[in-house]
């Protein structure tokens, strides 16, 4: 790479990532073929004042969240990540903090066992990160296979990110638990693989909230998801409606036959330290409406304003 501020920034990022960044410098990345699984690819954007506010979290946590958001999409398909490409739009005010962002992304990508193989830099008015992830799955699970009679299950405890946003927008400090769920989420690799291997018929990660993502899955599968708000596993001090609407959880929502759930539940503790909770059942029809009222079924919409109203 030649001299110049852009290429100096690329060199600085590569130095920050060390052996995570491989074969960077060509116009495109060349990936090894996969003989033991199906290739799965996704892309996700993280935009300042849309997905986070700078006053709420550190630059390193911004990087963590950006990486997790993209990698979680692979976990939702039952896949593991292999390769990552990262595109930054960098305002001048973010130049000195980019190394901290890179550290946060690098920590998540290293833990995932993936490698950074390319990306792009651009100057712009609003800081953003667009992350492309490429992985492999032994059994791919889409959103479109849910069948009438399947159980609807969710991993983990919900509501932390939504509660943190509520506190910040009210001028208060969130609890340690809810802030941690917003600032330091993690992809549910093991859980996604376990659900896929157990025979999950459909799966999605909770980025737009349980209520919103249930509607996405229901629409894709042509069914109704009958959710019971009383069963939703809310975090400490979290109201049920917050747990239903809270986005950017990066837990997994899945559908699977009752027999498959029973077999999986008997060995779930060997797969995950987080609970696996039945929150409903798949019904016939073409609507995602469940037992909760209309407001609690509302999910996150990227084009609604303002963003931070969960």
The domain tally of the chain equals 2
Report the pLDDT averaged over residues 242-252. 94
Residues 179, 58 contacting (CB under 8 angstroms): no
Give the residue among 152, 306, 160 at the shortest CA–CA distance from 238. 160
Which tokens hold the place of 178? 């809810």
Q: Give me the pLDDT at residue 25, please.
A: 58
Q: How far apart are CA 52 and CA 298, in angstroms?
A: 20
Q: Give me the pLDDT at residue 20, please.
A: 74
* CATH number of domain containing 104: 3.30.1330.10
Q: Give me the pLDDT at residue 292, please.
A: 33
Q: Which of 137, 160, 184 is the last residue of a domain?
A: 137
| Domain assignment of residue 307, yes or no | no
| Domain assignment of residue 310, yes or no | no
Cis ω for the linkage preceding 81 (within 30 of 0):
no
| Domain assignment of residue 144, yes or no | no
Query: Based on the domain organization, do 156 and 289 belong to the same domain?
Result: yes
| Domain assignment of residue 35, yes or no | yes
Query: Based on the domain organization, do 158 and 280 belong to the same domain?
Result: yes
Q: Is it the case that residue 6 has pLDDT exceeding 80?
A: no
Which tokens hold the place of 50? 């849309």
Q: Is it the case that residue 192 has pLDDT exceeding 70?
A: yes
Choice between 124 and 26, residue whose per-residue pLDDT is larger: 124
Give the residue among 285, 284, 281 at the shortest CA–CA distance from 151. 281
Give the residue among 249, 252, 152 at the shortest CA–CA distance from 204. 252
Query: Based on the domain organization, do 126 and 225 belong to the same domain?
Result: no
Q: Is it the case that residue 196 has pLDDT exceeding 90?
A: yes
| Domain assignment of residue 145, yes or no | no
> What spatial distance separates the first Cα and last Cα of the chain, rounded to whole Å?
44
DSSP, collapsed to helix, strand or coil, labels residue 127 as coil
Give the residue among 156, 144, 163, 124 at the shortest CA–CA distance from 246. 163
Residues 82, 136 contacting (CB under 8 angstroms): yes
pLDDT in tens, 273-306: 999 999 999 998 875 444 333 334 455 555 454 4
pLDDT in tens, 29-47: 566 667 778 899 998 999 9
Mean pLDDT of the chain: 87
Query: Based on the domain organization, do 98 and 222 belong to the same domain?
Result: no
Query: Based on the domain organization, do 132 and 109 belong to the same domain?
Result: yes
Considering only 15-29, 46-60, 93-107, 122-136, which range has the smallest mean pLDDT? 15-29
Q: Which domain range does residue 257 map to?
A: 151-297
């Amino acid at each position: 790479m030649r001299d110049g501020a852009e290429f100096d920034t690329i060199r600085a990022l590569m130095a920050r990532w060390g052996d995570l960044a491989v074969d960077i410098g060509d116009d495109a990345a060349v990936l090894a073929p996969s003989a033991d699984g199906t290739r799965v690819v996704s892309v996700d954007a993280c935009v300042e004042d849309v997905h986070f506010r700078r006053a709420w979290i550190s630059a390193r946590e911004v990087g963590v969240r950006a990486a997790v958001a993209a990698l979680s999409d692979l976990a939702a398909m039952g896949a593991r990540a292999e390769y990552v490409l990262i595109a930054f739009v960098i305002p001048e005010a973010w130049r000195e903090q980019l190394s901290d962002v890179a550290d946060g992304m690098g920590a998540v990508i290293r833990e995932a066992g993936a490698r950074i193989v390319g990306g792009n830099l651009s100057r712009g008015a609003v800081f953003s990160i667009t992350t492309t992830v490429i992985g492999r799955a032994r059994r791919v699970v889409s959103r479109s296979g849910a069948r009438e009679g399947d159980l609807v299950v969710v991993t983990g405890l919900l509501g932390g990110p939504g509660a943190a946003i509520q506190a910040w927008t009210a001028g208060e400090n969130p609890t340690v638990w809810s802030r941690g769920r917003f600032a330091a989420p993690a992809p549910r690799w093991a859980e996604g693989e376990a659900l896929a291997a157990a025979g999950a018929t459909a799966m999605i990660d909770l980025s737009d909230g349980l209520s919103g993502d249930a509607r996405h899955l229901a629409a894709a599968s042509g069914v109704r998801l009958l959710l019971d708000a009383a069963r939703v596993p809310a975090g400490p001090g979290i109201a049920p409606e917050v747990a239903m609407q809270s986005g950017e959880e990066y837990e997994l929502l899945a559908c699977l036959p009752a027999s498959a759930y029973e077999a999986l539940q008997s060995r779930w503790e060997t797969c995950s330290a987080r609970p696996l909770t039945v929150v409903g059942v798949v019904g016939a029809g073409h609507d995602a409406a469940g037992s909760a009222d209309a407001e609690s079924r509302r999910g996150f919409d990227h084009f609604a304003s303002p963003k931070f109203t969960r």
